[in-house]
Copies of this chain bind each other. A is one copy, B any other.
Amino acid sequence: MADGEQIARLAKLIRYFILISTTEAGSGHPTSSLSATDVMTCLLFGGTFRFDVDHPEHPNNDRLVFSKGHASPLLYALWAAAGKVSEEELMTLRTFGSPLEGHSTPAFRYADAATGSLGQGLSIGLGMALNAKYIDKLPYRTYVLLGDSEMAEGSQWEALQIAAYYKLDNLVGIIDGNRLGQRGETMYGHDMAAYERRVSAFGWETMMVDGHNIDDILDAYAKSANSTDRPVMIIAKTIKGKGVSFIEDKDGWHGKALDKGQLKQALAELGDVDKSLRGEIASPENLRLTAQQSQPAQKILYLADKPVATRKAYGNALARLFPKFPDMVVLDGEVSNSTHSDVFKERYPERFFEMYIAEQNMAGAALGLSSRGKVPFVSTFSAFLTRAFDQIRMSQYSGSNIKFCGSHAGVSIGQDGPSQMGLEDIAMFRTLLDSIVLYPSDAVSTEKIVEEAAKKKGIVYIRTTRKETPIIYKANEEFPIGGSKVLKQSDRDVAAVIAAGITLHEALAAYEELKKEGIFIRVVDFYSIKPADKETLRKAAHVSQAFITVEDHFAAGGIGETVRSLMADVDVPVHSLCVQKMPKSGTPEELLDYEEISKGAIIRKVKELI
């Protein structure tokens, strides 16, 4: 491994790479990269970090997450110094089609996750460290580079507390304390002790270092590798723009590249750079995992006459399916007795992680687990998944494979009132680019849908209901993603009622009532909201004069709008019954009526149309 002097030479080379690539791009964050250059050079080339550079997928590679994703020029420069990115490639920074994006994403093969929305990397690292310590039981360590500004994000403190709780001595954070945020000084400036007090109060081992003193830094990394039962935070006092005197520690230099004249001046200051120098990264132990064998899942068994809540079936499904999908991991936000992920927890406690009431960190940790090949199922009330929207949004840029389950959807939860009602969750998950949104209505369809979710790579959202609902499907019914079920139909249908979850049962009840009066409606179980079954709806449009969508969700971004988008080129009016009045406490029945998404409301709407 490189000694102090060699590291200094490598750091100089890396500074050179940072400067030339950002000036070529005409934008980017050289100053935020320069401050962390010495700590990161020491990490990668000082012998602590172990990584098979030719096999980034090696399961025992140490992990490196740049939580301060805007320091991507440093990330790319480090791997250039390791001989894995050419100077020519570096010069494509931030250009269209280059894997070297403005904020690093997995388009770059040495980045596991997209970062750039601050305060998310520590949670991602936590997921990787959980995986190492408790699941794969591999000795790899996870390193997370943190900005000082982003320590203001609450998600950091969620991750800090949970990492300490799980005694993640294989997780090391490095705070790049360069004093300056985007528009001026951070809350604590260069008072590194302020971070030290807070982080150590949260149960971490802390080490304060001069972030430009190579011996200091190497020493801290060596010590960090010996921590027992506690994660380690290296708090480095650094200078933003370090190495280029006229931008060092200066306001107004965040996110700005040097122009060509300034670059010339900066390179002159930097002095001789050995462009042929390359650093060596230590190798990991060649430990590999024995892949768990998939076993057939048990059969689904529900009594036709015994109603079961879909949230309960969700828990049953997790427990039933684990043998078939041995990469599953289940996380819950301290409500497992409500989401019923507790069914899984009781059966497979070693694969269940209590994440407490900290949804942002839970979503971030799931991304970390997903990046290590696991299939995380993440549950809380659907309302509270909104807490993690930024993490969920970001995970779409990491090619993640996370299954979210939101329970207690809609006003039908009843007495607890609006704070606990998920009424925006369909809109939230639908708006993601490649998401899948599923909404089962009975226990059988829930079991099948959870299985579909486990099989399908990507972000899948499953919406469950608090109250018990009748079993309407036989155990051999299949629920492919993108499908739907026509439960009632005739050639005299005056309207097609498109519903899912709780409102499907209202639609079926309306059907029975209307039939007595000789009025026929088509009833469609729209369990796959995204992608949706356009074909079935098209056929329904040929027969029915109108569509009525019914959903326990607000109007915008929900099922009504989904169907209108699907039918944009078909001439069928789509009437939407949805939550349109300020919700409140009451019985489920009162609230379904009040919001006009009940059996009665459907009947009224149908009669209004004929």
Query: How many residues of chain A have a CB within 8 Å of chain B?
Result: 105
**Given A96-B591, A357-B152, A415 and B102 contact (CB-CB distance below 8 Å):** yes
**Given A96-B591, A335-B183, A576-B568, A386 and B383 contact (CB-CB distance below 8 Å):** no
Query: Given the complex, which residues of B lie within 8 Å of A555, measured CB to CB?
Result: 431, 565
A478 close to B (CB within 8 Å): no
**Do residues A102 and B417 form an inter-chain contact, with CB atoms below 8 A?**
yes
**Given A202-B198, A564-B565, A181 and B357 contact (CB-CB distance below 8 Å):** yes
Give residues of chain A (406-442) contacting chain B, Cβ–Cβ below 8 Å.
415-420, 423-424, 427-428, 430-434
A156 close to B (CB within 8 Å): yes
Give residues of chain A (558-600) contacting chain B, Cβ–Cβ below 8 Å.
558, 560-562, 564-565, 568-569, 571, 573-576, 579-580, 582, 584-587, 590-591, 594
- Which segment, of A9-17, A110-118, A511-519, faces chain B? A110-118
A556 close to B (CB within 8 Å): yes
Which of B97, B186, B360, B416 touches A154 (beta carbons < 8 Å)?
A: B360
Give residues of chain A (328-361) contacting chain B, Cβ–Cβ below 8 Å.
334-338, 342, 356-361
**Given A152-B358, A181-B357, A202-B198, A102 and B585 contact (CB-CB distance below 8 Å):** yes
**Do residues A96 and B198 form an inter-chain contact, with CB atoms below 8 A?**
no
Query: Given the complex, which residues of B lie within 8 Å of A285, measured CB to CB?
Result: none
Which of B103, B419, B557, B565 touches A427 (beta carbons < 8 Å)?
A: B557
Query: Given the complex, which residues of B lie within 8 Å of A357, measured CB to CB?
Result: 118-119, 149-150, 152-153, 181
**Do residues B568 and A103 form an inter-chain contact, with CB atoms below 8 A?**
no
Give residues of chain A (533-556) contacting chain B, Cβ–Cβ below 8 Å.
554-556
Q: How far is B416's CA from A25's CA once the two chains are assembled, in angstroms? A: 11
**Do residues B358 and A419 form an inter-chain contact, with CB atoms below 8 A?**
no
Interface core residue of A119, A161, A187, A431 (most chain B CB under 10 Å): A431
**Do residues B554 and A433 form an inter-chain contact, with CB atoms below 8 A?**
yes
Smallest CB gap from A561: residue in B: B561
- Contact mask for chain A residues 61-73; partner B; CB cutoff 8 A; 1 contact, 0 none: 0000000010000
Which of B149, B338, B418, B571 touches A182 (beta carbons < 8 Å)?
A: B338
Query: Given the complex, which residues of B lie within 8 Å of A526, measured CB to CB?
Result: none
Q: How far is B423's CA from A554's CA once the two chains are assembled, in angstroms? A: 20
**Do residues B431 and A557 form an inter-chain contact, with CB atoms below 8 A?**
yes
Query: Given the complex, which residues of B lie within 8 Å of A117, measured CB to CB?
Result: 383-384, 387, 419-420
**Do residues B561 and A336 form an inter-chain contact, with CB atoms below 8 A?**
no
Q: How far is B393's CA from A418's CA once the two chains are assembled, in angstroms? A: 10
Q: How far is B115's CA from A510's CA once the two chains are assembled, in angstroms? A: 36
- State the Cβ distance, A159 to closest chain B Cβ, in Å: 8
Give residues of chain A (163-209) contacting chain B, Cβ–Cβ below 8 Å.
165, 181-183, 186-187, 197-198, 200-202
Which of B157, B383, B568 touches A157 (beta carbons < 8 Å)?
A: B157
A95 close to B (CB within 8 Å): yes
A447 close to B (CB within 8 Å): no
Query: Given the complex, which residues of B lie within 8 Å of A558, measured CB to CB?
Result: 431
**Given A427-B428, A564-B568, A582-B397, A419 and B69 contact (CB-CB distance below 8 Å):** yes
Query: Given the complex, which residues of B lie within 8 Å of A294, measured CB to CB?
Result: none
Query: Given the complex, which residues of B lie within 8 Å of A312, measured CB to CB?
Result: none
Copies in the complex: 2
Interface core residue of A359, A557, A582 (most chain B CB under 10 Å): A557
**Do residues A95 and B187 form an inter-chain contact, with CB atoms below 8 A?**
no
A302 close to B (CB within 8 Å): no
Q: How far is B584's CA from A433's CA once the two chains are assembled, in angstroms? A: 13
A389 close to B (CB within 8 Å): yes
Interface core residue of A149, A153, A573 (most chain B CB under 10 Å): A153
Smallest CB gap from A394: residue in B: B419
**Do residues B419 and A114 form an inter-chain contact, with CB atoms below 8 A?**
yes
Q: How far is B198's CA from A200's CA once the two chains are assembled, in angstroms? A: 9
Q: How far is B252's CA from A113's CA once the two chains are assembled, in angstroms? A: 39
Query: Given the complex, which residues of B lie within 8 Å of A594, measured CB to CB?
Result: 96
A101 close to B (CB within 8 Å): yes
- State the Cβ distance, A388 to closest chain B Cβ, in Å: 9
Give residues of chain A (375-408) contacting chain B, Cβ–Cβ below 8 Å.
383-384, 386-387, 389-390, 393-394, 397
A98 close to B (CB within 8 Å): yes
Query: Given the complex, which residues of B lie within 8 Å of A590, measured CB to CB?
Result: 96
**Given A334-B152, A564-B568, A103 and B198 contact (CB-CB distance below 8 Å):** no
Give residues of chain A (118-152) contacting chain B, Cβ–Cβ below 8 Å.
118-119, 149-150, 152
Can you name 16 extra interface pairs (CB under 8 A) apart from A557-B561, A565-B576?
A98-B585, A102-B420, A103-B417, A116-B416, A116-B417, A154-B156, A181-B357, A183-B336, A386-B393, A394-B419, A397-B418, A427-B427, A431-B557, A556-B557, A568-B573, A568-B575
Among all A-B residue pairs, the 7 with the closest Cβ atoms: A154-B154, A116-B419, A96-B586, A557-B557, A201-B201, A427-B431, A157-B157
9 contacts between A and B (CB under 8 A): A27-B415, A27-B416, A95-B586, A96-B585, A116-B418, A197-B201, A389-B424, A424-B432, A564-B568
